[in-house]
Amino acid sequence: MSILAKLKEKFSGPKYDEMEKETEYVELENDNEAMRSKVVVRPFMLEQFDDVKPILDSLREGYTIALVNIRPLKDKDLVELKRAINKLKKTTDAIEGEIAGFGDDFLVVTPAFASIYRSKQVKQVTEDSSEE
């Protein structure tokens, strides 16, 4: 057998007859992919500044819409509340998401694929307040 024939045999794939005999199948699990494709709406409670970390971790995963109750921290310490909200805003901007107040005691934070509905009335109020 020549050197070229040996090289050709070594680098060529299995012959068609050999491939036909192999009928084993490998089952792949797609559980992770199915779980990741679901969006989770998750409630959070801000009682202190350190409670921001689990919220940020969930948002960075990309499949969580966070509903954050800020009332406990609002009642306790306004300076810490402002720090926490600024931290949430920076991360929201980094992941190209959105953040909005929902009533007096809640924030809604969404990842990039979701948007927050803002009515014309809300936009008009914010425009009027910025003119003052």
The pLDDT of residue 118 is 82
**What is the number of other CB atoms lying within 10 angstroms of the CB of residue 130?**
7
Distance CA 96, CA 90 (A): 10
In terms of Cβ atoms closer than 10 Å to its own Cβ (0-12, 13-18, 19+), residue 117 is exposed
Q: What are the pLDDT digits (tens) for 15-58?
A: 555 555 555 666 656 555 555 568 899 999 999 999 999 999 99
Q: What share of the chain is helix, strand, coil (3-state, %, to 5)?
A: 55, 15, 30
Rounded Cα–Cα distance for residues 112 and 42 (Å): 16
Count of H helices and E strands in the chain? 7, 4
Lookup: tokens for 56: 């940020």
CA–CA gap between residue 52 and residue 82 (Å, rounded): 12
User: Domains in the chain, please, with CATH?
Assistant: 41-131 (3.30.110.150)
pLDDT tens sequence across 70-129 = 999 999 999 999 999 999 999 999 999 999 998 889 999 999 998 888 876 555 555 555
Question: Parallel, antiparallel, or unpaired: how do β-strands 40-45 and 64-69 relate?
Answer: parallel
Write down the pTM of the prediction.
0.62
